[in-house]
Structure 1
């Protein structure tokens, strides 16, 4: 399916691996020139090279922590007039809320609420002036279903959701949409738990882990970054212009609600 965004320019934050990479790959496949970002420069370079080779689009690398103002400036210098922005960032680790001090709380809110808002502020008016814009925020199913020990992540992402819910309605008439994707249990490093970077899981251990984690998911499996990315790409397409201000769980039916 041609998504109608070939030649568009996209910034995808935290996209060297996992869900961000899945989104970058899907947008590159759709024909977008992309700017990718990640804290590990070597890993990012490998991702960029693979996407260039696979899809033949322009891929620009901006290594660094997207929460830093200088890295945000570098992203916008690499792509001054983006048509698409995918906000993504690593979440705080599992931790009892009693262990949080002010510094940790502010860091979590900065990474998962303030940073995406700053990037939306930087790009939304240009999108509106040009008559096309797609902003997708990768949040978490914990916005809907609180997860103990993930309270800081849940709170920061819920704050982002509420903040942008009103903003989305102010630019919808100029063909700019803002939506949120809420991943549930997807097969990323975060679900693998602590491990050495670059290590390969024993196939039997991986199968057992996936079966255990997905036991309560109606789909009886973990989602993949690839299918998550394709959903993101559709929300960025010309066909999704009438969808805005929405929270879309990508969770295999884990979140139980009729409405």
Structure 2
């Protein structure tokens, strides 16, 4: 399917690895020119080079922490008028809520709620003037269902979801959409780290913990960054202009709900 976004410009935050990388790859496959971002220059460079080699689109690398004012300034300097913004950022590590300090809590809210809001504030009016914009926020299935140790991430991302529910309706008439993608268990470094921690706590091998985790999912497998990225790319396409204000779960059926 032609997504109708060839030549569009996209900023994909935290896109050197994992789900952000999957989104960048899928948007490049659709013909978008990209700003890719990550804090570690080496994997960022490798991702950018692979995208250029495979898809022949323009790729600008911005090695920066997207949660900082300087990082956001660098992203917007590289692409002042994006047509597409994919908000993504690392969540707080697994922690018992009792151990969280005030500073920890504020940092988590800054990373997973404040940062995407700031980037939307900086880009949405331009999208509205031009009559096209697609904003996708990568949040988490934990917005819907509790996951031990992810309380801070869940709370911050749920706050972002509620905040943007009204904003999405304000901008929809200008062909600007705002949606959220809620990943369940995907094959990423973060999942592997969580499995390792869980295995240590349970006193089992990483292989056994991996089998246990996959068995909980009706699809009996973890998702891949590639299929996540293609869902993101569709939401950014011309075909998805009537989808806005939605939180779309990609979880292999893990969340048990009819609605």
Query: The TM-score by the shorter chain falls in which range?
Result: over 0.9
Length-normalised TM-score, structure 1: 0.94
Mapped partners of 2:177, 2:143: distance in 1? 20
Q: How many residues in Structure 1 have an aligned counterpart in Structure 2?
A: 250
Which structure 1 residue ranges, 4+ long, deviate > 3 Å from structure 2? 205-210
Distance 1:54 1:16, change over 3 A: same
Once the two structures are superposed, what CA deviation does each residue of 1:222-244 show, in whole Å capped at 9, x if it has no partner?
Answer: 00000000000000000000000
| Aligned pairs (5 A) from 1:67-216 | 67-193=67-193, 210-216=210-216
Shift of residue 210, structure 1, vs aligned partner = 3.9
The residue that corresponds to 1:256 in the other structure is: 256
The residue that corresponds to 1:200 in the other structure is: none
Q: Is the 8 A contact 2:23 2:232 kept in 1?
A: yes
Once the two structures are superposed, what CA deviation does each residue of 1:202-223 show, in whole Å capped at 9, x if it has no partner?
Answer: xxx8865543221110000000
Shift of residue 97, structure 1, vs aligned partner = 0.6
Runs (5+) with no aligned partner, structure 2: 196-204
Mapped partners of 2:190, 2:74: distance in 1? 27
Mapped partners of 1:4, 1:209: distance in 2? 42
- The answer as to 2:24 corresponding to 1:6 is no
Length-normalised TM-score, structure 2: 0.94
Shift of residue 256, structure 1, vs aligned partner = 1.0
- The answer as to 2:62 corresponding to 1:62 is yes
* RMSD of equivalent CA atoms: 1.3
Runs (5+) with no aligned partner, structure 1: 196-204
| Aligned pairs (5 A) from 1:36-47 | 36-47=36-47
Once the two structures are superposed, what CA deviation does each residue of 1:62-86 show, in whole Å capped at 9, x if it has no partner?
Answer: 0011001111011001001100000
Counterpart of 1:193 in 2: which secondary structure?
helix
Shift of residue 112, structure 1, vs aligned partner = 0.2
Mapped partners of 1:70, 1:233: distance in 2? 27
Mapped partners of 1:112, 1:10: distance in 2? 20
Counterpart of 1:182 in 2: which secondary structure?
strand
Q: Is the 8 A contact 1:179 1:245 kept in 2?
A: yes
Q: Is the 8 A contact 1:210 1:222 kept in 2?
A: no
